[in-house]
Amino acid sequence: MTCDVVPARMAKARPARAFGLAIGLLAFANFVIVTSEFIVVGLLPAMASDLGVSLAEAGRLVTWFALAAAIAGPPATMLAARSEPKLIVMLTALVIAAGNLAVVLAPRYEALVVVRIAQGCALTVFVSVSTVAAGFLAHLLLSSVLFTAMFAGYTFIAPLLGTVAGVSGTAVGWMLAGFGLAGILGNWAAGHAADRDPLVATVAVAFALAVAMAAVGLATNAPVLLMIIIGLWGAAHMAAFVVSQVRVMQAGRGAPALAMSLNISVCNFGIALGAVFGGWIADGRGVENVGYGGGAAATVAILIASAMVAARASTKSKPRSA
């Protein structure tokens, strides 16, 4: 179970732009929709005057919205879970938008109550579905960052070994063979770890990558230590393929073929970016520093994965809605 590795020049930057666009649109839509819930507060006197009702009655427009979100929102979300998330996000956003327009045009208080109830239901569905979708995207971002770290170092492993450790061409070949053999062990271990918790396994793999790539420079005159480091690097490198695919497949279990396709795409984008990043370090700072750059990128992957683990734990600890 491996990502299809294609030449870096064939990878495109489209996944990265898609990440930024999707997250930006979801964040903006959440802002607008949550603002719709409480905008009545700022307009309360004017709305009470226009509708010919008391301030208390106008204030109950906030109540109707909140009650709809609390009571009707959860079952509406359960029904929506049977449909395509993208469709649900668009439909609920349209409900909110149409409701805001109706608020401007509605001639009667009773019509506003109906609008606010519909918007309350839509709010719960939109936030729930869009949050899950954003978390699908987080897994893809993590894969991209992880592969950037992997190939920032791996692309330049031969000159890195030759420059830092003074390893000859023949010895580099043997070390790369050991790298590959260690990768078999890494695949096996990652398969077991990913079955239990692929996200936690990703943290461990990224940590091993960060340590191995950064430690190459410490083994200048220690061939045994260098072989151990190369073995750790190879095991972690190949394990990253497994944990990345298992993570994304689990996160996108509703559309596994799409999840696999997107993961291959972002992995290749990470490969392309990693090669560019490593090359930039090699040209500007010297190839002996490539390992440090890869280790730094792996540290970013650790932080992202750890944040996702913490967010998941926080979500599980919250009491379920009635």
For 199-247, write each residue's pLDDT tens digit.
Answer: 888 999 999 999 999 888 777 677 788 888 889 999 999 999 888 888 8
Q: What is the pLDDT of residue 205?
A: 92
> 92-134, pLDDT tens digit by residue?
888 888 887 887 776 788 888 888 888 888 877 777 676 566 5
| pLDDT higher than threshold 60 for residue 276 | yes
Across the range 80-95, mean pLDDT stands at: 76
**Token pair belonging to 227:** 């072989």
d(CA 160, CA 279): 12
pLDDT-derived band at 25 (thresholds 50, 70, 90) equals low
CA distances from 119 to 26, 103, 122, 306 (A): 17, 11, 5, 35
Q: What is the pLDDT of residue 8?
A: 40
Q: What's the topology of domain 138-317?
A: Growth Hormone; Chain: A; (1.20.1250)
d(CA 223, CA 242): 29
Q: What is the pLDDT of residue 9?
A: 40
Q: What is the DSSP letter of 13?
A: S
Three-state DSSP at 52 gives coil
Q: What is the pLDDT of residue 109?
A: 84
| pLDDT higher than threshold 70 for residue 281 | yes
Across the range 3-12, mean pLDDT stands at: 42
Across the range 179-191, mean pLDDT stands at: 86
Three-state DSSP at 53 gives coil
Domain-wise residue ranges, the chain: 17-130, 138-317
What are the residues whose beta carbons fall under 8 Å from the beta carbon of 220, sequence distance 6 or more? 164, 165, 166
CA dihedral sign, ordered 291, 295, 296, 301: positive
Kindly state the percentage of the chain with pLDDT values over 90: 10
Three-state DSSP at 300 gives helix
Amino acid at 43: L
